């Protein structure tokens, strides 16, 4: 599994995931907030399977 999520993309995903999960846990939003697990994990592991068919890669070029 090669990383395909860059640093900026990673930070945005982790923050969005935490906000969605936090909203769910506090009762501010409904159960749909559990979808925040997806961006949180893709940010943590730096891999997004949805990028594969499009050959997208937001990592910096070396």
The answer to whether residue 20 is domain-embedded is yes
Placement of tokens 């990383």 in the chain: 3
Reported as a single tens digit per residue, the pLDDT across 17-28 is 999 999 999 999
Coil, strand or helix: which one is 5?
A: coil
Report the distance separating Cα 13 and Cα 30, nearest Å.
20
Which structural domain, as residue segments, surrounds residue 38? Answer: 7-51
What does the block give as tokens for 31?
């159960």
Give 29's DSSP letter.
S
> What is the model's pTM?
0.90
Q: Give 56's pLDDT tier (boundaries 50, 70, 90).
A: very high
The answer to whether residue 45 is domain-embedded is yes
What mean pLDDT comes out for the span 21-44? 97
CA 20-51-36 angle, to 5 degrees, is 10
Number of domains in the chain: 1
29 has a pLDDT exceeding 90: yes
């Amino acid at each position: 599994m090669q990383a395909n999520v860059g640093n900026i993309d990673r930070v945005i995903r982790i923050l969005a995931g935490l906000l969605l999960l936090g909203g769910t846990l506090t009762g501010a939003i409904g159960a749909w907030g559990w979808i925040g697990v997806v961006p949180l994990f893709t940010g943590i592991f730096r891999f997004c399977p949805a990028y594969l068919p499009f050959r997208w890669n937001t990592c910096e070029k070396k």
